[in-house]
Amino acid sequence: MRSLLPCLLALLCVYPVWAQDDGPQGAKAVEWETAEFQRIEATRVRETAAMDAEEAACYKRFAVSSCLNGVQSRRRAMLANLRRQEATLHERQFAAQGAEQLRRNQQKARERAQQEADQRAETADGSRADRLQAQRDKQAEHTARKSTSAASAPALRAPLAGPTPAEQATNRENFARKQAEAQKKREDNARRQAEKGGKPAAPLPIPR
């Protein structure tokens, strides 16, 4: 029983990491892991020194071999336990690094997908804007052609249209003036014939 007591005490001093909680996460994880490695190393140094002292004391006993075997057995158990704790910490670090790398990859994938979506949206907007501009240009061209046709149509139809009221009034005035001039010429001719004693000349035809 006395040979088992030091072994139990050593195991209590190097209580395994996996028997504790999983430790902090995030930014404090590195500090916690560093402290755990330091604790393990300090435990190794302390327990090794204690067992070295026990081995030295074994040489003063009668059953030297049995004493040394017991100390060496506890030393192997202590070192194996510390190595398991270190392995657990290394696995934790490896898992954390893998998770961080996965997070970065996922973040990059999301950013790349967002960039591609933005580029597709810009391309779609550009194509839609080009189509709208083409429609506006076509409509403007159609409106311009329609305006040009409407402006030239009166000039083409003008010769077929009748005189305006002003033109009709001018025509009547010209006709009346010509009638008056013809009447005056007839009267002048008749007067000259009467003065000469000749036969009156035939009246001039009325202009139409």
Per domain, the residue ranges of the chain are: 4-130, 164-196
Residue 200 has pLDDT above 60, yes or no: no
**Mean pLDDT computed over every residue of the chain:** 80
How far apart (Å, rounded) are the C-alpha atoms in residues 80 and 177? 142
Residue 9 has pLDDT above 50, yes or no: no
Give the pLDDT score at 13: 45
Q: How far apart are the first and last CA of the chain?
A: 159
Q: Tell me the per-residue pLDDT of 134-150, one tens digit each, with 9 for 90 and over.
A: 888 888 888 888 877 76
- Helices 4-13, 29-58: axis angle to 10 degrees equals 160
Q: 119 exposed, middle or buried (CB, 10 Å; 0-12, 13-18, 19+)? A: exposed
Predicted structure pTM score: 0.44
pLDDT band, residue 40 (cuts 50/70/90): very high
How far apart (Å, rounded) are the C-alpha atoms in residues 44 and 78? 8
How far apart (Å, rounded) are the C-alpha atoms in residues 48 and 67? 16
How far apart (Å, rounded) are the C-alpha atoms in residues 82 and 6? 16
Among residues 2, 14, 5, 4, the alpha carbon closest in space to that of 79 is found at 14
7 vs 74, higher pLDDT: 74
pLDDT band, residue 11 (cuts 50/70/90): very low
pLDDT (average), residues 175-204: 77
Q: ∠ CA(52), CA(57), CA(62), 5° rounding? A: 135
How far apart (Å, rounded) are the C-alpha atoms in residues 58 and 56? 5
CA atoms within 13 A on the CB side of 87: 6
122 vs 56, higher pLDDT: 56
pLDDT band, residue 109 (cuts 50/70/90): very high
137 vs 24, higher pLDDT: 137
Tokens matching residue 46: 């302390």
Quick one: what percent of the chain has pLDDT higher than 70?
76
